[in-house]
Amino acid sequence: MSPSPSGPLPTGHALTGEVAALLRRVAEKVVLPRYQSLARHEIVEKSPGDVVTVADRESEAMLAEGLAKIMPDAAIVGEEAVHADPALAGRLGDALCWIVDPIDGTRNFAAGRPPFGLMIALAERGETKAGWIYDPLQQRLCHASLGGGAWIGEDRVSARTTGEDPPIAAISMIFMDDRQREHVRANLAPHYRLADIPYCAAEQYPRLALGVNDVSIFERTLAWDHAAGVLWLNQAGGRCARPDGSPYRVDEWDRKGMIAAASPALWEELAARMA
């Protein structure tokens, strides 16, 4: 499959089937055999608190090889490839670009516990057109295409809130500075019931649509962590956008700050409190 960069993207059932099959194949051959079986030397700290495993690298290589066969004209930007060559991130705005997170939630995976997942997105000139989030332990595939709705497997998904009062918030403060953390504690936390975060965007986005959490705040918004999830949640009828309301774009990969919510009303409420 090799569309012209100027032509329509094939984001329908055929493409979803090919990408889904690739995700399952890589999970079965590379990721799951390493789960709870990693040797100490197979886990490396890229930076304080940020680890990578041999499974991440093998998964990304196999995913990239498969995606290149599905759509040869598209650039491929993977998390580990960008770590090795930061200039590669400049291709996120290409006419066509695959975005790969070979294992999202590596911190959990390396510790031998869930959740973790594999994530792929397809972007056109910085706008996400399709996304896939695969949880290999649950064999749950979340997928979406722009204008085509959000799905889990064969079932269409409509985002729902928890119905709790106060709403449930999963707020990641890992990448916030001290001033931001204090703002959250003083001005946001009193209006929400804070929930534990899963340290895994591949799990957090489904929680926002499936009635587990109501709102989330993300400070770091790297494309491989968020492109697929943002599209999926928005297509489900929730809302995910920058705090000023502008849409998430993958070619603004180093821009910080994002609000995600199970409904537009919850998004507006949290955005107002943040401001």
Read off the pLDDT of residues 197-221 as tens digits, 9 standing for 90 and up.
Answer: 999 999 999 999 999 999 999 989 9
Given a cut of 70, the residues of the chain with pLDDT beneath it are: 1-12
- Residue 138: inside a domain: yes
Domain encompassing residue 215: 168-274
The residue type of 18 is E
Question: How confident is the prediction for the chain on average, in pLDDT?
Answer: 92
- Cα-flanking dihedrals φ and ψ of residue 220, to 5°? -85, 130
111, 129, 156: which is the final residue of a domain?
Answer: 156
- Convert the pLDDT of each residue in 4-37 to its tens digit: 333 334 456 789 999 999 999 999 999 999 999 9
Instruction: Give the CATH number for residue 181.
Output: 3.40.190.80
Residue 11 pLDDT: 54
State which H helix or E strand residue 107 sits in. Answer: helix 106-110
> Which residues have CB under 8 Å from 215's CB, separation 6+?
167, 168, 169, 170, 171, 192, 208, 259, 260, 261, 262, 266, 267, 270
Cα angle, residue 23 at apex, residues 107 and 48 outer, rounded to 5°? 20
Residue 12 pLDDT: 61
Instruction: Give the CATH number for residue 68.
Output: 3.30.540.10
User: How many Å apart are CA 174 and CA 126, to the nearest integer?
Assistant: 26
The residue to which tokens 């998004």 are assigned: 267
State which H helix or E strand residue 99 sits in. Answer: strand 97-104
- Is residue 17 domain-shared with residue 72, that is, in the same domain? yes
- R_g of the chain, CA atoms, integer Å: 18
- CA 213, chain centre distance (Å): 16
Residue 182 pLDDT: 84
Q: How many distinct structural domains can be found in the chain?
A: 2
- Is residue 192 domain-shared with residue 137, that is, in the same domain? no
**pTM of the predicted structure, to 2 decimals:** 0.93
List, in sequence order, every beta strand (DSSP E) within the chain: 43-47, 50-53, 75-78, 97-104, 117-124, 127-135, 140-145, 150-152, 155-157, 168-171, 193-194, 215-220, 239-241, 256-261
User: How many Å apart are CA 89 and CA 79, to the nearest integer?
Assistant: 9
- Is residue 24 domain-shared with residue 149, that is, in the same domain? yes
Pairing between strand 50-53 and 75-78? Answer: unpaired
* Residue 31 structure tokens: 């990721």
